[in-house]
Amino acid sequence: MSTERSPIRVVQAVHGRREAVADPSYQAALAEELRQSYGTAGLVELYGRFMAGDGFVDLLMRKSIWQSVAKSCGCGLQVGSGAGFKHPETFEIGNSVFIGAQACVQGRHDGRCIIGDNVWIGPQAFLDARDLVIEEFVGWGPGAKILGSSHTGIPVDVPIIRTDLEIKPVRIGAWADIGTNATILPGVTIGKGAVVGAGAVVVSDVEPFAVVAGVPAKFLHWRTDSTPVKP
């Protein structure tokens, strides 16, 4: 058995380099027909019939239903099997957005969820999208999470789950990259081009083009630095 290690390979990215291509006209017509025929509640129910499959029809219907029910939605959307949502009528989705299998985007009836062009959201991601903006060309690792709200826990003589919900906006700047299983806490802003390491828990704002990691996440170095600073 050879112990020789394979060399590191550098290959071109796929999703981030893809040019937005207009959807076939029949897809827009299908989305409009679904919107007219089912309405928001009916579309959410209909989605369950096509949520789990991987065939062409299931993929087409998931995409068309998201386009029908969202506040706005660009072309080239891809939605993996098992991906779920709540209050999709508040979503504003850009062009060429990918949402991985079993991801969940949870909005709120009076909330705001904006996902910019060319965003890639990995499988099993969870986005508390009650007040969320993700700008363009963001990479979102598998299993990474946004927590955008928490209970006040006051007064203490009632169950916490019955206390008021405090919603804090989360903002993810353009070109940022969020590592696998990282967690972004309520009220945090991730700056443009910043990198969040895998498994990090981000409790405070991250400066543009900074690299952070750990629990809680700490600054490691700037992406422009040639010699990283030890944590």
CA nearest to 170, candidates 201, 198, 130, 208? 130
Integer CA distances (angstroms), 95 to 60, 65, 86, 144, 164, in order: 16, 16, 21, 22, 36
Q: Which of 196, 188, 168, 48 is nearest to 112 (CA)?
A: 168
What is the mean pLDDT of the segment spanning 201-226?
94
Q: Report the pLDDT value the prediction gives residue 16, as an integer from 0 to 100.
A: 80
* Res. 50: pLDDT tops 80: yes
**Annotated catalytic, 109?**
no
Phi, psi torsion values for 71, nearest 5 degrees: -60, -40
Q: How far is CA 191 from the centre of its chain?
A: 16
Sheet bearing 131-134, strands edge to edge: 72-73, 91-93, 112-115, 131-134, 170-172, 189-190
Tell me what pLDDT residue 227 has: 55
Evaluate whether 169 touches 151 at the Cβ level (below 8 Å): no
The proportion of the chain whose per-residue pLDDT surpasses 70, expressed as a percent, equals: 97
Q: Could you count the other beta carbons within 10 Å of the beta carbon of residue 72?
A: 10
Q: Identify the DSSP state of 10.
A: -
> What pLDDT was estimated at residue 228?
54
| Nearest in space to 68 (alpha carbons), one of 109, 34, 29 | 34
pLDDT at residue 153 is higher than 60: yes
List the catalytic residue out of 87, 109, 151, 221.
151
Q: Quick check: 132 pLDDT over 90? A: yes
Tens digits of per-residue pLDDT, 55-110? Answer: 999 999 999 999 999 999 999 999 999 999 999 999 999 999 999 999 999 999 99
Query: How open is the CA angle 41-83-11, to the nearest 5 degrees?
Result: 145
pLDDT at 1 over 80: no
166-177: pLDDT as tens digits: 999 999 999 999
**b (16+ CB within 10 A) / e for 158-179:** eeeeeeeeebeebbbbbbbbbb
Q: What is the pLDDT of residues 139-151, one digit of tens each?
A: 999 999 999 999 9
Which of 13-17, 22-26, 104-108 is most confident? 104-108
Cα 120 to Cα 5, 13, 179, distances in angstroms: 31, 12, 12
**Residue-wise pLDDT tens digits, 119-131:** 999 999 999 999 9
pLDDT, average across residues 40-56: 91
Mean pLDDT to the nearest integer, 183-194 = 97
Name the residue with higher pLDDT: 225 or 57.
57
